[in-house]
Chains A and B, each alone.
Chain A
Amino acid sequence: MLPPIKHGMKYLFLFILLPHLILAQFQDSMKLEPILISGERNNGAAHLSIIQNEIDKLKYLDNNLGQVLMNNQGLYIKSYGPSHSSTPSIRGASGNQTMVLWHGLPISSPTLGLQDLSLIPFNFFTASSLSKSTVSEDGAEAIGGTLDLQSENNSRQAEFSIGEYGTLSGGAQFHWKKKDFQSNTKIQLNQAENDFIFEPKGIRRPQTNAAVKQVQFLQAFDVKISDKLNLGAEYWYLNAQREIPPTLTQTSSQATQDDWSHRMVLNPVYSGKRFIINTRIAYFLDEQLFQDGSLVSNIKSGNAYFQTGYEQVINKNLKIKLLTRAQNIQIFPTNEALAEYSEWRNMNSVQLIIQKNKTKARIGLTKEFIPNQKIPLAPSFMLRRQFGSLSVKYLHAFNYRIPSINDRFWKPGGNTELEVENGWSQELDLRWSSKNFELSFIGFNRKIDQWILWTPSDEYAWWVANNISKVWSRGLESSVKFSKEYEKFSIESMAAYQHIRSTSEFDLAVPKISKGDQLIYTPEHQIQGSLQLKTKNQSFKYSHVYFGKSTGINEEIKSYHTAQLFVNHRFRFKQVINIFLNINNIWNHQYVIIERRPMPGRIIKLGFQVNFN
């Protein structure tokens, strides 16, 4: 599907670069070019693309989005195991405070309020971007950042990889174009036994009941109906079958979880002389079946969207954007704990974008309406200025998160009186770049009030959801990047450090946390580094991430680090064939991210990719 013009600089740059990239494959010397550069989304917040080059596209082609974010972005991902439930924690926020968008529409589960990143194949969405800022135009859930899934739809390729512990992955993408019609087809199959050995307290144990299988299919059509009217349609199917392994303090597990998703979107775009109308009509159907012995939990939900965005260029310095979205959430009666339910929502936002010379400002306002919910106005302000090689951006925004369906209606414990989580955040972003260097410092500050927690009730013997906490998150994210091309090779290196303090502002008895204590599963220190070397036909990348200690629910989580090694050789025939070796956790470090849930040690994978472009 052709990207809408409203995404601006990002895609314009891509179309200029891409033909050169394809041509470069047949040149004597391969220049290392970024595929996608940071750009502006429709909300005006600067997003960083999750991957920066062709090597990473190859390295992560059989990974899910959670794995890429952890290993490539140093983002803390709460993972229950390889290809098991994975949710992001952006600057100390929880997974249900991060919005995941597809075609600008939230795909997060309305019942849980979050999206399992292990169900998103990165190979489908290699142009995805990440925003750690909270901006109201992203919608309610962006109080803890936004992941925007974007596809590159012009590939003809097939890939296959095989690794230890029964790891198998295969995929193919086919792009076809004739005149004004384009078709993009993608398929991805992943499976693994995950029967790795781990050694808690020196006792060697094989992981059991941990097999996973995933099938994903994506079909996109794009038709240019006229010079002004373009129509896109896309369908995304997912089926994942996962066995849930036992914890370290559990003898065995029979638990399994199956997930299905059918996601369809219709996207007509009308472009006038100085305006664009971008409409999305979508329906997402999600179902999850969890079984553990006699315990069976089946949850099925539907999300219907109608969204229209209007963008008008007033003059060379001023642009206005309007967005309105109607959403219907439907909960099907498949679970005794969650009755049949339907809810309408309406979100409206307006943005003014002012640009003059090297200064850009954006003022936004969002208002959402949901029956029986008091939702505040959410303003935001962004100012960016370029001073030569130095870019300075300041962001000041108010955002909120609506309690999920489970938070409000789960039996027992759901609380229909819950208020929305809400709070102000500020961010100061300093970036300095030269030909070979890029240096960035980002300071952030965010307070979230009415934080929702499920805790044992004083009155009843079950857990209930309440607005009982307030969280203050602040910290510093710093990084330095170096890249240089020599005659016969190029080199890229990166080092990054994040310091995150995300603390409770209240003393709580349950969960037991004192004012000023760091939240659980929120490491204070995160370090990341990588080194990449590339010649005409070979590439080598070593990356290393470190996460400091944190506290779990029952015990302390030790600090851990993992490293990856990627080596690739390219053969140039009629097609381009890449053969690669990928070693995850090369130093075979034993660690857990979620307490009592062991992560695998070293895993070696071999694979190849054939590019027919």
Chain B
Amino acid sequence: MMGVLPLFMTAQTTASFEELAVSDNGFLDGSDDSGGFESGHIFIPNEYNESYNFWTGWAISASTDTTTPGFENQYSSISGNGYNSDNYAVSFSSSENIVNLREEAEGNPVLGLWVNNSTYAYLSMQDGDAFAKKFGGIDGSDPDYFLLTIKKYQNGALSQDSVDFYLADYRFAEAESDYIINEWTYVDLTSLGDVDSLSLSLSSTDIGAFGMNTPAYFCIDDLTTADGPSSTSQIVEIQDIQIYPNPATNFIHLKAHEASKGAYKIYDLNGSMVMNGNLMVGKSVDISSLNKGQYIFQFNEGRNMSKALFLKL
């Protein structure tokens, strides 16, 4: 899971795809020869083959179908919407897919993005289909996973640093912990540092002689880029802090290089604050009353602010 990383107080731009004209429950598949889509300070490429009426790369969707299985429902996210919005981007690629940073964002960090499973991939992993296996296998014990790996290109070279996000994970000893992501989840990318473009690729345990069987789809929304330092803002370096254990059941502890105390707030993924209080580093926070799911832990100490993502079991 994500650790806590420094957050730069800079201008930020969020690519939400809302400015793109998508009809209700519709999609943009690149058939207009647009070659891709621009939102915020990113450009996501699309390749459309007119001979075959087939697309690869990215599509933009407002599809709300969360129940129809199969390829015919390739444009929907499993939550039937974007992150607190209508529009979102859908990725389909047999290898890597690219997010290009433009204008002020190019060469600067990408703060993060929201990720979700497509309905097609989600139902395929949950129930299996004619080509791909139901995750967990016949008796639920197969240690399957569906992994999104995010790397960066900088100065034309692909770095080996990566941020891994499990779109599904069945490797837990207790079957109750197995999950397939079915809601928008924030992925922090600040650890990648400065970025020219992002490389996103999928891998799965369900592979055969012809490669990956799990449908190669996922969805993204609200990708936030740092746009370089603002003339009026001041960059404040934040001390590293860590949340442990992660995932956690009843308590989380705050760990930092230096002893400090401050105020904490815990948000759910909808942005609602569910808990707050004062905290000294090294002490713990009782989270047993929280529902299972992912939360954002924010710690403020003076001008310093840091965030961490944790999973409540």
Contact = CB atoms under 8 A, between A and B. Distances in A.
A453 to B, nearest CB: 9
Interface string A497-538: 000000000000011110000001000000000000000000
Contacts of B129: 250
Contacts of A336: 53
A553 B210 contact: yes
A294 B70 contact: yes
Contacts of A555: 208
Contacts of B208: 552-555
Interface string B5-48: 00000000000000000000000000000000000000000010
A358 interface: no
Given A292-B70, A292-B130, A294-B70, A460 B138 contact: no
Bin the interface of chain B by size.
Answer: 35 or more
B56 interface: yes
Contacts of B72: 293-295
Contacts of B270: none
Contact of A294 (B68, B132, B206, B207): B68
Interface in A221-257: 244, 246-253, 255
B211 interface: yes
B241 to A, nearest CB: 41
A249 B138 CA distance: 6
A333 to B, nearest CB: 15
Nearest to B97: A461
B162 interface: no
Interface in B104-152: 126-130, 132-134, 137-139
Nearest to A414: B52
Given A553-B208, A554-B213, A456 B94 contact: yes
Contacts of B216: 461
A511 B210 CA distance: 5
A252 B127 CA distance: 7
Contact of B127 (A244, A251, A294, A511): A251
Counting chain A CB atoms within 10 Å of each CB, which of B68, B137, B138 scores highest?
Answer: B138
A369 to B, nearest CB: 27
B49 interface: yes
B182 interface: no
Given A203-B138, A293-B69, A511-B210, A250 B52 contact: no
Nearest to A336: B53
Bin the interface of chain A by size.
Answer: 35 or more
- Taking chain A's interface residues, is the majority helix, strand, or loop, or is none over half, making it mixed? loop
A255 B206 CA distance: 22
A411 interface: yes
Given A247-B128, A411-B53, A554 B209 contact: yes
A520 B139 CA distance: 26
B51 interface: yes
A200 B138 contact: yes
Given A203-B139, A249-B138, A520-B209, A293 B130 contact: no
Given A293-B69, A294-B73, A412-B52, A553 B134 contact: no
A294 B127 CA distance: 16
A460 B56 contact: yes
A462 interface: yes
Nearest to B124: A250
- Taking chain B's interface residues, is the majority helix, strand, or loop, or is none over half, making it mixed? loop
Counting chain A CB atoms within 10 Å of each CB, which of B53, B207, B210 scores highest?
Answer: B210
Given A413-B52, A460-B54, A201 B138 contact: yes
A182 interface: no
Contacts of B138: 200-201, 203, 248-249
Contacts of A248: 138
A455 interface: yes
B71 interface: yes
B130 A255 contact: yes
Contacts of A292: 70, 130
Contacts, number: 95
Nearest to A293: B70
A249 B130 CA distance: 9
A295 B53 contact: no
Given A412-B49, A460-B49, A553 B209 contact: yes
A335 to B, nearest CB: 13
A246 B128 contact: yes
B93 interface: yes
B92 interface: yes
A246 B132 CA distance: 11
Interface in B58-82: 68-73
Contact of B133 (A249, A293, A460): A249
B210 A251 contact: no
Contact of A462 (B52, B133, B206, B209): B52
Nearest to B67: A293
Nearest to B213: A554
A245 B210 CA distance: 23
Contacts of A250: 127-130, 133-134
B300 to A, nearest CB: 45
Contacts of B93: 461
A200 B134 CA distance: 14
Nearest to B206: A554
A551 B73 CA distance: 32
B56 A513 contact: no
Nearest to B52: A412
Contacts of A552: 208
A457 B94 CA distance: 8
B210 A455 contact: yes
Contacts of B53: 336, 411-412
Contacts of B73: 294
A460 B54 CA distance: 9
A460 B47 CA distance: 9
A412 B94 CA distance: 15
Given A249-B138, A251-B134, A294-B73, A412 B210 contact: no
Given A293-B68, A294-B68, A412-B52, A249 B209 contact: no
A78 to B, nearest CB: 15
A551 B210 CA distance: 13
Given A461-B56, A511-B209, A511-B210, A249 B137 contact: yes
Interface string A538-554: 00000000000001111
B68 A411 contact: no
A405 to B, nearest CB: 16
Contact of A456 (B49, B69, B137, B211): B211
Counting chain B CB atoms within 10 Å of each CB, which of A201, A255, A412, A460 scores highest?
Answer: A460
A412 B54 contact: yes
Nearest to A464: B52
Contacts of B130: 244, 247, 250, 253, 255, 292
Contacts of A596: 133
Given A456-B94, A461-B92, A511-B210, A251 B70 contact: no
Nearest to A246: B128
Interface of B: 47, 49, 51-54, 56, 68-73, 92-94, 126-130, 132-134, 137-139, 206-211, 213, 216
Given A293-B72, A412-B53, A513-B209, 15 more contacts: A200-B138, A250-B129, A255-B130, A292-B70, A293-B70, A411-B53, A460-B56, A510-B209, A510-B210, A511-B209, A511-B210, A520-B209, A552-B208, A554-B208, A554-B209
21 contacts: A201-B139, A246-B128, A247-B133, A249-B128, A249-B134, A253-B130, A292-B70, A292-B130, A294-B72, A295-B71, A295-B72, A411-B54, A412-B54, A457-B94, A461-B92, A462-B52, A462-B56, A520-B209, A553-B209, A554-B207, A555-B208
10 shortest interchain CB distances as A-B pairs: A412-B52, A250-B128, A554-B208, A249-B133, A461-B56, A511-B209, A251-B127, A294-B72, A461-B94, A553-B208
